[in-house]
Amino acid sequence: MKTTETNQPYISKTDIQISYADTDMMGIIYHANYLKWFELGRTQFVEDAGYDYLDMEKAGFSAPVYQVEATYKKPVRYGDQVTVETWVEQNDGLKTVYGYHVVNGEGELCATGSSTHIIVRREDFKPVQFKKIFPEWFQKYETIKKRV
């Protein structure tokens, strides 16, 4: 993972392979697929940061989606090249907000979004504090998150 000395946020980039099955009757990418792309971007971001959701689950925790938002700016069609850019917008110890941009091959912004996640114990789904359960992971996010 790359970070700069000027404390710039880290943005992970994930190329998406679009399939014909991703389209709707209008010939554009079905809107719910963007949520799948956000998840692919987030998973890549976590891996780029040096962590793994499977390790979290093996430790008895999960990070479910608490809230998700998407704004569609330009349609994506079958045959287009797209990249999901992912970063951490907020990391307050209880919840983490990831930001997303979906950009086409011409560099045009096609969608923006965010997803909010909390850490829960798998056994009873009770929320726990990210900064207490995974302090190194939390601190890494603090170092690379987007400053507002």
Please identify which of the residues 15, 24, 52, 55 carries the catalytic annotation.
Answer: 24
What residue type is assigned to position 82 of the chain? V
Instruction: Report the length, in residues, of the chain.
Output: 148
The CATH architecture of the domain made up of 12-144 is Roll (3.10)
pLDDT of 63-108, one tens digit each? 999 999 999 999 999 999 999 999 999 999 899 999 999 999 999 9
What are the residue boundaries of the structural domains of the chain, listed by start?
12-144
CA distance 95 to 26: 37
Q: In this model, does residue 3 exceed pLDDT 50?
A: no
Q: What is the per-residue pLDDT for 1?
A: 43
Q: Which residues contact 55 (CB under 8 A, 6 or more apart)?
A: none
pLDDT of 104-145, one tens digit each? 999 999 999 999 999 999 999 999 999 999 999 999 999 998
> How many other β-carbons are positioned within 10 Å of the β-carbon of residue 104?
17
Q: Is residue 24 annotated as a catalytic residue, yes or no?
A: yes
pTM score, two decimals? 0.91
Mean pLDDT, rounded, for 2-25: 80
| Token reading at 48 | 């780029």
pLDDT of 45-60, one tens digit each? 999 999 999 999 999 9
Q: What is the per-residue pLDDT for 33?
A: 96
Q: What is the per-residue pLDDT for 147?
A: 66
Q: What is the per-residue pLDDT for 146?
A: 74
Q: Which residues contact 17 (CB under 8 A, 6 or more apart)?
A: none
